[in-house]
Structure 1
C-alpha cells in the first residue's frame, strides 16, 4: 500500500464556480480510481486542493501524473510519499470535502486540524504524522 499527498492551486475557472468544477473533477476521479483500486480524499479550501491518494505505488503514480497535467491545477507539490500498512479511506474511491460550502463541519471547531491544513496549503513543511492525522480526522468526522 502506498500513500501520496499533494497540494495544488485551483485554476481561475474553478474559483469562479468551484462547486460545479469540483463535482466534475470528483466524477472523473471516482471512475478512474475505481478502475485502478485507488482511494482517498480531496479537500478544497479557498482556491487550494489537498489530496490523499492511496493504492498500489504504480496506480497512485499514474493517477498523480494525470493530475499533474490537468490545467485545472497549478503549483502542484507532493508533500508526502510513503509505504503504508493500510488505507485511511478503504471504502471510498474518492471522498471529498469542499470547505468553502460546508460551514458546519467539525473541522471548523478543531483548531489543530485547521492549523495543519493551513500549513500544508501554505507550503510549510509539515510532519507526516500530522498530515495523516488530518486525513484521519476527516475520515472520522466526515459524514
Structure 2
C-alpha cells in the first residue's frame, strides 16, 4: 500500500547551501534505495517535505527524521494511504522556499511568507504540487501551469 506523509520542521542549526545540497543528495540516494519519492521545500529555517512510498519505508524514514538532531518542532501534517504517487518524478525533489513563491505562500498558507506551520495538510500538498509543477516546467517545454 502506498502512503503519503507531509511534515514541517525547523532546523536546529544554520545550514549553508552546500550542507543543504549534501542533505538532498543523501536523501536522493536513500530514497531511491527505499523506492520513495517526494519533494522538499526549505527557506534556511523551515522544512516542508512530502514523502511517498510503501507504508513501512515511509514510516522508517520518518522515524529517522523525527530523531535527527537537525530537526525540531516536527509537525506531522498528513499521513494517508494513496492510490498513486504525485511526486513520482523525484526520489527527492528540492526547491528553495523563497520570495519567488510568495503568491503561492499567500494562496496556500494565508501570508506571503513561507510558514508551513500555518498550513493545513491540503494547503501544504497544494503548495508542494504547484512548486513541483513549476520545477518541472522550468526543466521541460511549457505545459499547463498550476492555476
| Structure-2 change in CA distance of 1:36 and 1:44 (3 Å) | same
1:2–1:56 Cα contact (<8 Å) kept: yes
1:94-133 alignment, distance < 5 Å? 94-100=92-98, 105=100, 107-110=101-104, 111-113=106-108, 115=110, 121=116, 123-124=117-118, 126=120, 128-133=121-126
CA separation of 1:135/1:129 partners in 2, compared to 1, >3 Å: closer, same or farther? same
Instruction: Give the whole-Å Cα distance in 2 for the aligned partners of 1:25 and 1:134.
Output: 21
TM-score, normalised relative to structure 2: 0.80
- The aligned residue for residue 84 of structure 1 is 82
Secondary structure of 1:12's aligned partner: coil
TM-score normalised by length of structure 1: 0.82
Stretches of structure 1 that go unaligned for 5 or more consecutive residues are none
Per the TM alignment, residue 47 of structure 1 is displaced from its structure 2 partner at its CA by 0.3
Mapped to 1, the partners of 2:49 and 2:23 lie a distance apart of: 12
Deviation, structure 1 residue 84? 1.1
C-alpha distance 28-41 of structure 1, shift in aligned 2 (>3 A): same
Following the alignment from structure 2 to structure 1, what is the Cα–Cα distance between the partners of residues 80 and 38?
14
2:43/2:114 contact within 8 Å kept:
no
**Counterpart-to-counterpart distance in 2, 1:47 and 1:30:** 21
Task: Give runs of aligned pairs for residues 11-22 of structure 1, distance below 5 A.
Answer: 11-14=12-15, 17=16, 19-22=17-20
